[in-house]
Structure 1
Amino acid sequence: MRERDGTPLGHLPERKAVLMLHGRSVPVAAGFDLKHASYSWADHLAKAGYDVFMMDLQGSGLSPRPRMEDPRNVSPAHQNLLKPRPPGFTPGTPNYAFQLNNSNSDRDELHTVVEWIRKERNVAKVAFVGWSAAAFTMGPYAVNNPTKVESLFLLAPIFPPEGTSTPPSQLPQPGFPTFLGTRWGFESGWNTELRCENQREPGIVEKVWAAVMENDPVGRTWGPPEGLSRIRNFFRWGWNKTTAAQGGVLGGSVPVLIAYGEYDTQVNTSPPNPNPELDFSVPALYNAIAGSHKLMVKLACAGHSVVWETQHKNVHNLTKHWLEHLKVDGKTLGVFDMNTNGDISPAP
Structure 2
Amino acid sequence: MDQYVPAHEYSADLVVEDFMIPSDSAGISLHLRNKRAAAQKACSAERTILMVHGATYSSTSLFDVPLGGTSFMDHLAAQGYDVFALDVRGYGGSTRPPEMDAPAEASPPLVRTDVAVRDLASAVAYILERRGIPRLNLVGMSWGGSVAGAYTADNNDKIEKLALIAPLWLLDTPAPIDSGGALGAYRKVPVLGFRERWLAAAPEAARASLIPEGWFERWAEASLATDPQGNTERPRVMRAVNGPIQDIRDYWAAGKPLYDASDIRVPVLLVHAEWDRDVTTSSTQDLFLSLKRAPYRRWVEIGEGTHMVLLEKNRLQAFNAISQFLAERCT
State if a TM-score over 0.5 links the two structures.
yes
Deviation at 1:136, TM superposition (A): 1.8
**Equivalent of 2:272, from 242, 257, 260?**
260
1:267-309 superposed Cα distances (whole Å, 9 cap, x missing partner): 018xxxxxxxxxx811110111113511111100000111111
- Structure-1-length-normalised TM-score: 0.74
What letter is aligned with 2:116?
D
Query: 1:223 aligns to what?
Result: 234
For residues 160 and 322 of structure 1, the distance between their equivalents in structure 2, rounded to whole angstroms, comes to 25
Change (3 A) 1:302 1:5: same
Deviation at 1:160, TM superposition (A): 1.2
Deviation at 1:180, TM superposition (A): 1.0
Unaligned runs of 5+ in 2: 1-31, 173-181
1:132-174 superposed Cα distances (whole Å, 9 cap, x missing partner): 1112211011011000011110001110179xxxxxxxxxxx9
What letter is aligned with 1:205?
F
For residues 305 and 296 of structure 1, the distance between their equivalents in structure 2, rounded to whole angstroms, comes to 17
Query: 1:214 aligns to what?
Result: 225
Indicate if the aligned counterparts of 1:127 and 1:149 stay in contact, CA closer than 8 A. Answer: yes
1:62-86 superposed Cα distances (whole Å, 9 cap, x missing partner): 211123553622xxxxxxxxxxxxx
For residues 310 and 68 of structure 1, the distance between their equivalents in structure 2, rounded to whole angstroms, comes to 38
Deviation at 1:112, TM superposition (A): 0.6
**Equivalent of 1:176, from 180, 184, 201?**
184
**Equivalent of 1:42, from 50, 73, 83?**
73
Indicate if the aligned counterparts of 1:146 and 1:254 stay in contact, CA closer than 8 A. Answer: yes
- Structure-2-length-normalised TM-score: 0.78
Deviation at 1:242, TM superposition (A): 8.2
1:203-258 superposed Cα distances (whole Å, 9 cap, x missing partner): 2211111010111111111121xx10111111437776583443xx43xx311000
What's the % identity of the aligned pairs? Answer: 26
1:30-64 superposed Cα distances (whole Å, 9 cap, x missing partner): 10000232441011101101100000001111211
Task: Please say if 1:4 is aligned against 2:35.
Answer: yes
Change (3 A) 1:39 1:308: farther
Change (3 A) 1:112 1:157: same
The structure whose Rg is larger is: 1
Change (3 A) 1:56 1:110: same
Query: 1:287 aligns to what?
Result: 289
Indicate if the aligned counterparts of 1:154 and 1:258 stay in contact, CA closer than 8 A. Answer: yes
**Equivalent of 1:200, from 211, 227, 230?**
211
Indicate if the aligned counterparts of 1:21 and 1:55 stay in contact, CA closer than 8 A. Answer: yes
Query: 1:138 aligns to what?
Result: 148
Higher helix share: 2
What letter is aligned with 2:237?
L
For residues 100 and 251 of structure 2, the distance between their equivalents in structure 1, rounded to whole angstroms, comes to 29
Change (3 A) 1:198 1:175: closer
Deviation at 1:326, TM superposition (A): 5.7
Query: 2:25 aligns to what?
Result: none
Task: Please say if 1:309 is aligned against 2:312.
Answer: yes
Change (3 A) 1:296 1:326: farther
Indicate if the aligned counterparts of 2:43 and 2:82 stay in contact, CA closer than 8 A. Answer: no
- Greater shift, 184-193 or 57-66, is seen at 184-193
Please state whether the residue corresponding to 1:114 is helix, strand or coil. helix
Change (3 A) 1:38 1:129: farther
What letter is aligned with 1:66?
P
Indicate if the aligned counterparts of 1:45 and 1:52 stay in contact, CA closer than 8 A. Answer: yes
Deviation at 1:184, TM superposition (A): 4.5
What letter is aligned with 2:42?
L
- Greater shift, 151-160 or 61-70, is seen at 61-70
